[in-house]
Structures are given as structure tokens and as C-alpha cells.
Structure 1
Amino acid sequence: MNNTLRIAILVEEGRQRIISSGDWLTVAELSELTAQTVDELKTKVYSLMSEGQIFSINYEGVDYFPTYAFDASGGYQVVPALKAVIEILATRKDAWGMAFWFGSSNSHLGGRQPKELIRTDLGTVLDAASDEVCGILHG
């Protein structure tokens, strides 16, 4: 098996892990949680995406939005802190890259996943995001 095929298989396995994590909602699923119509919500989430406040991944032709982008206890409003992290990550990562980053253990966060800390420790998550895009600098 050549390296290109091996990488493609690993990427697909990673996508399967991300999409099956339970961290992703379609607009229709989000509509059920918020009691807003699908059309209202579509307009809202795509506007939020264009403003860089949330991101989505596309899997098999369907857009999925991260559950951790929405505050369930606050009427499913967007978590404001997410925008700052997206601004940093978007300089080097596409939506899938962000999904992998948010859903993976991070040594800068003591082995925790960024999605777990986005609401409670934004400063550390921002530092981890900066570290991710800058890499280790040697002096």
C-alpha cells in the first residue's frame, strides 16, 4: 500500500471518529432543540458561519455543526469564546482540521480536549490554539 492511500485511509478513519463522536448536529437536529424552524435556523447558522462565530463540517453532503458551539443552558446561543479560537485556527486549518483539533487530546491542556474547556478556560484554549498554528519555536 502506498503512502497516499494509507494517508487517505487514516483521514477517513479520523472523519468517522469525529462524525460518530456525538458532538455534531444538523440544522434539523438543532431546530428540534431550539424550537426554531429549519429555515430560520439555516439563515442564522450560515450567517454566524460567515461572521466566523461557528464552523461546520460537511460529511456525505450534509453540514454538521459542533454541539460545543452552542450553550444548551443558555437557549442554544453560540458560545462567544468560539470565535476567537476559530480566528486563530482558521489561519492554518480548514473545518475538518478544526474539528480534529477540538476533539483531540491536547498536551497544552493537560491531555484534555479543547472542546471540553472552551467555556471554562478560554485563555488556555487560546494559548493551545496559538501553539497549534505556530508550532514550537526554537531560539
Structure 2
Amino acid sequence: MPSRANTVRRKEFPYEIKTLSGNELHNFNTHADSEYLVIDLGNVKGRRSDFNKTIEVAMSAAMNAVLASMLDLAPVAKKSKAASLPPAVKSVNEAVDGVDKQARAARNAQRREQLNARILADSVWLTAHELSEKVGFKNTNPSAGPNRWKSTGRIFALQLNGKDKYPEYALDEGFRPIPVVKQVISLLGEKKTPWGLAIWFGSENSWLGGKKPKDVLATMPKQVLLAAQAEAEGGTHG
């Protein structure tokens, strides 16, 4: 693991934070009159690339909070040894909470990326040009027909790399929108983004016996509509 450093120097309390590999720690140049806090972070394989940076930010925030509290309360330290403890603990907790929120946001973003990737990989997505060719639209603008379907709520599309991508599962054998898709969009379209619709269509649904709505649009349209109504009313579909 390559070493990365986040160094903060104070006139009164200089300190340095580094993440080191085992070999680097073995060869680390120490000073007899210094004290060191060493934390074994374990095997780093499989961890996120920003793991080291997150650790360094958290430790720096904690050290800054503790040192700032010690400096602010130094004049009254002789009167009460415990006087500096609550502000220090509070400052550290606030710093750690801030890091926790950032970490949670990063984890949520990663889960969303993984979910989106699964949704894309689990279905066929057509560009407007591909869909127009399959339907046989004769417009000089290949996006005209699919855009008209989208604007009237007969189908939805995901924006990927600046292009609309339409789900093939929403089309019948003649590549026309399956009627129940429009009914679902009318129920959920105001509550869900196109990605939200794609996730709903592509997720297992208890109202459908664990099947995904996208897989039974042609064979179980009434049940799909009931599932969408339950979703619109706040029901679960786990």
C-alpha cells in the first residue's frame, strides 16, 4: 500500500498523519522523544480507492478538534481537569459525524450506480434510430416517432450519454408500446423519474409472485396494473 500523507502542523502541538504499508512502517524513522498512535487497518485489498483519504480526513478532524479544545481551555485547566473534556468530545463527535455522513453518501451513491448498472444489463435498450427502424417509421427524423410516444406517455426513455434509450420490454411483437405500460406511467410517472420507472419495472415484485413487471407485461397486464396501483398508494413490492 503506497504511503499517503495528510500533514498538519501547529506551533504548539505539531503532528503528522500518514497511512503506511507494513514494510514502510518497519522502516519508519522514529524519534525517541515522540509518541506514536499506530492503528492496524488490516488488508486493504478490495477496499474503495478513497479509503485512505477518508481515514486521514477523519483523524485530522479529530486531532484538530482535540487540540483546539485544549488550546481554548488551557487557562482554566488548573481549576478543573475535566473542564476541557466535554467540548473536545463534542468537537470530535461532530467531526466524526461529518465524516460518517460523507461515507454514507458515498455508499449510497455506489449502491445506486450498482443498481443502475444491473437495470441496464438486465434489458435491451434501443436508441430512437434503432426503434424507428424496427417499427418502420418513415420520418426523415428518426427520433420523431419515439419522441411522440414518449411525450404522450406511451413509453419512457433513459438519458444515456446524451441519447434517449427505450426499453424493448415495453414493446409488443410489432415493436409498438404495450398498452399497460402507458397505464403504469400514468400512475407512477409523477412520483418516479425515468430511472425510477426502470427500477420498478426491473425489480422483483411481491404482487407478481416475485416476478419482475417487465417480464410479464404481455402475459399478466392486469396484475402489473394492480402492482402499480399498490406502488402508487405507497404499498411495498419487496
Q: Is the aligned partner of 1:12 residue 2:113?
A: yes
Residue deviations 1:65-92 (CA, integer Å, cap 9, x gap):
01012112xx212212211011111131
Q: Residues 1-139 of structure 1 correspond to what in structure 2 (within 5 A)? A: 2-36=103-137, 39-72=140-173, 75-136=174-235
Aligned-partner Cα distance in 1 for 2:172–2:144? 19
Runs of 5+ in structure 2 lacking a partner?
A: 1-101
CA contact (8 A) 2:157 2:165 kept: yes
SS for the counterpart of 1:76 is: coil
Normalising by structure 1, we get a TM-score of 0.86
Runs of 4+ in 1 over 6 A off after TM superposition: none
RMSD over equivalenced CA pairs, Å: 2.0
Alpha-carbon separation, structure 2, partners of 1:18 and 1:111: 16
- Secondary structure, in 3 states, of the residue corresponding to 1:19? helix
Instruction: Summarize deviations over 1:39-68 as a string: whole Å, max 9, x none.
Output: 454111111111111100112222110101
- Write 1 or 2 for the structure with the bigger share of helix: 1
Partner of 2:143, secondary structure, is helix
> Could you tell me the TM-score, scaled by structure 2's length?
0.52
Gaps of 5+ in 1: none
Q: Tell me the secondary structure at the aligned position of residue 53 of structure 1.
A: coil
> For the Cα contact (< 8 Å) 2:156–2:166, is it kept in 1?
yes
2:186 & 2:226 partners in 1: Cα distance? 13
User: Which structure carries more relative contact order (alpha carbon 8 Å, separation 6+)?
Assistant: 1
- Assess, with a 3 A threshold, how the Cα gap between structure 1 residues 58 and 121 changes in structure 2: closer, same or farther: same
